[in-house]
Structure 1
Amino acid sequence: MERDYIDLAELQARLREEIEMSFPERCWVRAEIASVQAKANGHCYLDLSQSEEGRIVARAKAVVWRSRYAALRAYFREATGGDLAAGMEVLLRVQVGYSELYGLTLTVDEIEPRFTLGAAELQRRRTLEKLAADGLLDRQKELEPALLPYRLAVISARDAAGYGDFCRHLTENAYGFVFAVELFEATMQGEDAPASIVDALERVECAPEPFDAVLLMRGGGSALDLACFDDYGLCFAIANCPVPVYTAIGHDRDFHVADQVAYDFVKTPTALADRFIDAFAAEDERISSYGNRLRMAFAARLAAMEQRLVALGDRIRGADPRGVLARGYALVTDARGVVVKSAGALPPGTSFKVMFADGTIEAVTKEKE
């Protein structure tokens, strides 16, 4: 049975003609970068996609030829502070082409970095709105921090300069305070960072011994490098962490959603180290002040007791009969040594003694007047 047909090459040729007729001029295309491959030969290949409601609805391949890639890369880096990376939303000017061998290809000759920055800011605002709607923005603030945070869980890249600065500053503190620090390694930039950091948080929560604080630190970087700290999933995990989370992310000018949902944030890893050193220093000063107060109270108590002893000594000395005798008085006792207080106690013929300061005489009553 005969059927009408066309060759594959003819089909492809007709598709190419139709596409070239439909897109004779270059056009701007909005898409998300699924992957980037910069080759050694100078060309850069992009996998582009578009998602709706969490599922991919379109894919296409794009290329930036070597003749344009160096200039486009420098322009994009100057405007955004970073390179093209997976997960970014981009606005590209492309020439639509079709090859019988390679299919649809978009040749990129221009990029609009302001669109990428705007998309990142829009995503940041959406994250904040969703966290606020879920009641998560201030959940960490309701936690009760440890008075003396000793066991510290650090989430960082092991070879990060900021992590090294933090460890040196903490261990070389002038007071000699000692802390138990454990590193939970994670990817700290790019599209894999949020899931990696969330995994580190889960490992912290499942540790055999509980931690007093979680420290999330990342040194400076471009706005796009640090955009992962505006990710809703990451911020959701921070907000729900049962341990106070402290962040030190980026530069002084940076402020991320992760900073906002954390228990507290500072600008640098060394400032984060100072936060915990200062807590111990304040407690040390408080204890020292108690010691000073105890020493002062004890000294005052001893002085009061000494005064009481001096007064008691004066009273004892004042009541000593020898002191009375030294002033010219005499003490009369009967033969048994009992003090005689009345002349009536010594009838005539009674023996008695008269004590003076310089001696005692014995006498007998002759008569009483």
Structure 2
Amino acid sequence: MDSGRAISLYELNNRVRGVLKDGLPPYFWIVAETSDVRENQNGHCYLEFIEKDSSNRNIIAKSRASIWANNYKLLKAFFEHETGQRFVSGLKVMVQVSVEFHELYGYSLNVQNIDPSYTLGDQARNRALIIQQLQEDGVLYLNKELELPELLNKIAIISSPTAAGYEDFCNQIENNPQGYVFYTKLFPAVMQGERTENSIIDALERIYQYQDFFDAVVIIRGGGATSELSYFDSYLLAASCAQFPLPIITGIGHERDDTVLDVVAHTRAKTPTAVAEFLITKMDETADELLYLQQEIMSLVSQRIVDEYAYLNGVATHLSYQLKEKIKDKLNSVDSISERLKHATNSLIKEKKHYLEIKEQHLKLISPENILKKGYTLTLKDNKIVKHAEELKAGDTITTMFADGRKGSVVK
């Protein structure tokens, strides 16, 4: 092949540029959907225009576009004033564009004008219809009503295992400065393309079988074009997440755009790293609360010890005083009883002594010796007192006792 016939890439691109410039009108009105809308620090707006097929699922055309700062400021204010909504991704718009081709940067469109009569795009309209249906079904805010546990460290993760966002999340969690321990389990899923919906729902069903092992579910993906987020605008996926028994936290890589999945989730973070920061912050709050409770308990215990010590000292002093008074009372009582016993004993002894003296006097009066002294005698037979005459018969030997002696005799 003759190398002299070849041209450089730059020359080819330059010819393409010329053909486009000469063969196309300077301006076109096109209908497209906005995607990945962003404004840089110089005020220029960069975005993508996309078109989907009749199923409204697959993108069939895409083009880079720009709106230079001086024009973007006017068009944005005009559009938002007329439509009452922000100029963001997901809007179906009618715009006037010029076709640009640059040897280095390639094909793009430059927006010159906009027709505000085109407002919501297919993507945004689809989101609105899904959200409306979820609200009518009474499930839109179910997941948001769940309470996050105080200790939020057992996490089920739905993500592509090869995604950079998943790696960023794991690095952030594992290397947190405070050294918190997180227990994570990956449930792999496809996070882009037509399989996204079914794949995430399947992962949720696997987590459901082990829900008692987890505190929350994290759904994360890396960055990418805003147009890819349409796969997260799914009624079945949103309904499954809204009714899931564990709180769901999303971080699907876009700060500017909210998908239906973000709307129904318990908590929405802009990126996987932001999700990790959220979990670490929750652990910080729990640690602070535990530290506060620890200090409160220590303070209460210390104060209780002081109060109880003072109380026991008071009780001891009171008991000591009462004991002394009680002992004093008991001693006085004992002294009183002792005096009463002593007096009663002396009275009893005196009384008994008097009684014995009377008995002694009585015994002396009735003693045989005293009776004999009065002239009476006692008759004895066989050393026994004879009380009746019939006890004696003739011939019996008897003894007669007198006060001053005895005399024997025989009965005739």
Q: TM-score range by the shorter chain?
A: 0.5 to 0.7
Does the 8 Å contact 2:154/2:214 carry over to 1?
Answer: yes
What are the within-5 Å matches in structure 2 for residues 9-158 of structure 1? 50-51=53-54, 75=65, 118-158=121-161
Q: How far is 1:215 from its partner?
A: 1.2
Pick aligned residue for 2:322 from 311, 315, 332: 315
Pair 1:266–1:130, CA change in 2 (3 A): same
Label 1:251 to 1:52 Cα distance change in 2 as closer, same or farther (>3 A): closer
1:202 aligns with 2:208: no
Q: How many angstroms does 1:238 deviate by?
A: 1.1
Matching residue of 1:8 = none
SS of 1:247 mapped into structure 2: strand
Shift of residue 202, structure 1, vs aligned partner: 1.9
> Among 264, 276, 292, which residue is 1:270 paired with?
276
Q: Kindly state the Cα deviation for residue 341 of structure 1 after the two structures are TM-superposed.
A: 7.1
**Residue 51 of structure 1: SS of its match in structure 2?**
coil
Q: CA deviation at 1:257?
A: 1.8
Between the aligned partners of 1:294 and 1:218, the Cα distance in structure 2 is 49
Supply the distance in 1 between the matched residues of 2:121 and 2:109 (Cα, whole angstroms).
14
Q: Secondary structure at the match of 2:190?
A: coil
Higher share of residues assigned helix:
2
Q: TM-score, normalised by structure 2?
A: 0.49
Equivalent position of 1:105 in the other structure = none
Identity %: 31
Higher alpha-carbon Rg: 2
Instruction: Note closer, same or farther for the CA distance 1:291–1:332 as it changes in structure 2 (3 Å cut).
Output: closer
Show the counterpart of 2:312: 305
- Cα offset, 1:214, TM superposition: 0.8
Deviations 1:143-162 (A, max 9, x none): 45444344310112334444
The alpha carbon displacement at 1:232 in A equals: 2.7
> Could you tell me whether the CA contact under 8 Å between 1:124 and 1:257 is conserved in 2?
yes
Q: Is the 8 A contact 1:166 1:273 kept in 2?
A: no
Partner Cα distance (1:51, 1:251) in 2: 26
Deviation of 1:206 after TM superposition, in Å, equals 2.9
For residue 276 of structure 2, what is the amino acid of its counterpart? T
- Give the corresponding residue for 2:287: 281
- CA positional deviation for 1:298: 4.2
Structure 1: gaps of 5 or more residues: 1-24, 33-47, 63-71, 79-88, 92-108, 325-329, 351-369
Preserved contact between residue 173 and residue 277 of structure 1 (Cα < 8 Å): no
CA pair 165-110 structure 1, distance change in 2 beyond 3 A: closer
Give the whole-Å Cα distance in 1 for the aligned partners of 2:56 and 2:263.
Answer: 27
The 8 Å contact of residues 217 and 248 in structure 1, kept in 2 or not, is answered as yes
Q: How does 1:339-358 map to 2 (within 5 A)?
A: 339-340=338-339
Equivalent of residue 233 in structure 2, options 224, 230, 235: 230
Alpha-carbon separation, structure 1, partners of 2:55 and 2:162: 38
- Secondary structure at the aligned position of 2:140 is classed as coil
What letter is aligned with 1:308? V
Contact 1:218/1:248 (8 A) holds in 2: yes
> Which residue in the other structure is 1:42 paired with?
none
What is aligned with 1:213?
Answer: 216
Name 1:167's counterpart in structure 2. 170
Cα deviation for residue 120 of structure 1 reads 2.7
Q: Report the TM-score, using the length of structure 1 for normalisation.
A: 0.53
Counterpart of 1:189 (choices 177, 183, 192) is 192
SS of 1:246 mapped into structure 2 = strand
Counterpart mapping for 1:243-254 below 5 A: 243-254=246-257
Distance 1:306 1:211 in 2: 52
Once the two structures are TM-superposed, the CA of residue 182 in structure 1 deviates from its matched residue by: 0.6
Q: Contact conserved, 2:189 with 2:203, CA < 8 A, in 1? A: yes
Cα 1:199–1:275 shift into 2, 3 Å: farther
| Paired residue type of 1:340 | E
May I ask how many residue pairs the two structures share in their alignment? 268
Match of 1:363 in 2: none
Structure 1 pair 148–219 and aligned structure 2 pair: CA distance change class (3 A): same
Distance 1:50 1:270, change over 3 A: closer
Residue 211 of structure 2 contacts residue 246 of structure 2 at CA under 8 Å; is this kept in 1?
no
CA contact (8 A) 1:152 1:181 kept: yes
Residue 302 of structure 1: how far off its partner (Å): 3.2
Kept in 2, the 8 Å contact 1:143–1:244? The answer is yes
Contact 1:154/1:183 (CA < 8 Å) preserved in 2?
Answer: yes
* Structure 1 residues 86-118: Cα deviation after superposition (integer angstroms, max 9, x where no partner): xxx999xxxxxxxxxxxxxxxxx8879999x93
